[in-house]
Amino acid sequence: MANSQSVLSAAQGTFIVNTADPVDKTCDAIVALEDTIFSSISIGESDVTADYVQDPLIAVKAGAIIRPMNGAKFSGVRLTSGSVILVL
């Protein structure tokens, strides 16, 4: 996992997700650009959405930053609606 300064500055780049298609990219953080509903957030082969979003049927508000726990990296994301930045 990258340090906080590296993540906040997006030192390794970013990728914008703005469709409902699954995106398999390793990233250190997910930033909601608008109110967003996640279909899934993955670490490895596991769907960890419930570990990061209390109620996946309710939108995560714009500006929310989601960081993986315990030194992990997110490996994929799929949206129902909204758009996010993946901080690589």
pLDDT in tens, 9-29: 677 899 999 999 999 999 999
pTM score of the predicted model: 0.90
The residues facing 67 across adjacent strands are none
- Label residue 79 exposed, middle or buried (CB < 10 Å: 0-12, 13-18, 19+): buried
What's the pLDDT tens digit per position in 26-80?
A: 999 999 999 999 999 999 999 999 999 999 999 999 999 999 999 999 999 999 9
Choose among 12, 52, 50, 16: nearest CA to 31: 16
Q: What is the per-residue pLDDT for 7?
A: 61
User: What CATH code is carried by the domain that includes residue 27?
Assistant: 2.60.120
Domain that holds residue 13: 4-87
Q: What is the per-residue pLDDT for 52?
A: 98
Q: Give the total number of structural domains in the chain.
A: 1
Q: What is the per-residue pLDDT for 11?
A: 73
